[in-house]
Structure 1
């Protein structure tokens, strides 16, 4: 699907992948919609052109549909193995010609087919200050280790588990009365703000580069 002339010159094309409720997705929808619809909002330079998932009937897809954003689902159960699923996911994302892919609570590891197409331009957040506490239980691990500061990290996705190059981090204090739920909720608040901020920055860089390259070509 070729990009529209408006999108190709004025905005970076985002595909967002989700597996659940989509609160990070909603933050991105709010930011990118506000930048287009409100003359007083800052220019976010980004447009979500599709939202994909690895399962049906999740709130993340419903959020996209309510916003009028095209959606797609690539289920692992529909494929012979993870390698076939990885190829299918890569093809589904590529159909929307993204400049940037955002994993927003997407609970699957990217494989070689996907990274072959989108390596270096796929980003993800994690609820700790990486490289500390990678994996699924970062807030619990932070509490178990007794740290006083944790936070959230934005990374470029690679083939490992939370091992990609770090783009940005934000610190969150661990309070004496925190449990896993309260700590994780505070981390997620900062994580969403960081994601929206940095998607805006990266989109601006993409658009600036495209404009500069186009100007040089002409």
Structure 2
């Protein structure tokens, strides 16, 4: 069974959805540890309550981004994970860190990349008037919020949406696709070919684009 280390900075709702999927047997991995750069991250308590080892590497204690990332690498590698999963880890990673985990560092971003990289994705989607929004699971590369895409989920932008309503609809899909992507990795379904991700259809089965019906997305 493959093992993963999850990195968080806050409550870690995507971490919690992964822990739920692992506990149910839907994702066949062992969560070796949860690490955070913030000692007050609420997700640490959630992980500890499930008997998952936790570690804090406080970025404020390091003089440079490189020194912090080196400490993170040392802490992560102590658990020898097959995959490192970013779940709301709010730090820009150095090229050295990313290259160290090339092909085994996964992230989820709350937009349909390459649209709206960076922060405030839901606000920007509303301002641009897009009709389709969503989330993307991808392998991490040195370019911010770029990298080979594994799976995406699209949701409609409804009349009357505000940032919170749209964010909640996207988050529900994040909790679907992140465990799916980790499962595919654990089961050996993912292959990187020329900067693109190929998914073994016979093993993976599910679509690479999850698109809920508009009617199902309406409140009430």
What are the Cα deviations for residues 58-116 of structure 1, in whole angstroms up to 9, with x where unaligned? 21111110000001111111111111011111111111100001000000122133223
> Following TM superposition, by how much is the alpha carbon of 1:190 offset from its aligned partner in structure 2, in angstroms?
0.3
Give the corresponding residue for 1:23.
Answer: 13
Long gaps (5+) in structure 1: 1-10, 36-41, 207-218
User: Using the alignment, how far apart are the partners of 1:141 and 1:120 within structure 2?
Assistant: 30
Give the corresponding residue for 1:3.
Answer: none
Matches within 5 A, 1:104-123: 104-123=87-106
Name the structure with the higher strand share: 2
Give the corresponding residue for 1:186.
Answer: 169
Name the structure with the higher helix share: 1
> Following TM superposition, by how much is the alpha carbon of 1:117 offset from its aligned partner in structure 2, in angstroms?
2.1
Give the corresponding residue for 2:126.
Answer: 143
Give the corresponding residue for 1:129.
Answer: 112
- Out of 147, 152, 173, the residue aligned to residue 135 of structure 2 is 152
Secondary structure of the structure 1 residue equivalent to 2:69: helix
Secondary structure of the structure 2 residue equivalent to 1:153: strand
Secondary structure of the structure 1 residue equivalent to 2:90: coil
What TM-score does the superposition give when structure 2 sets the normalisation length?
A: 0.83
Query: 1:51, 1:61 within 8 Å by CA — same for their partners in 2?
Result: yes
Secondary structure of the structure 2 residue equivalent to 1:16: strand
Long gaps (5+) in structure 2: 190-220
Give the corresponding residue for 2:22.
Answer: 32
User: Using the alignment, how far apart are the partners of 1:134 and 1:116 within structure 2?
Assistant: 20
- Out of 43, 60, 66, the residue aligned to residue 60 of structure 1 is 43
Secondary structure of the structure 2 residue equivalent to 1:205: coil
- Out of 176, 179, 193, the residue aligned to residue 196 of structure 1 is 179
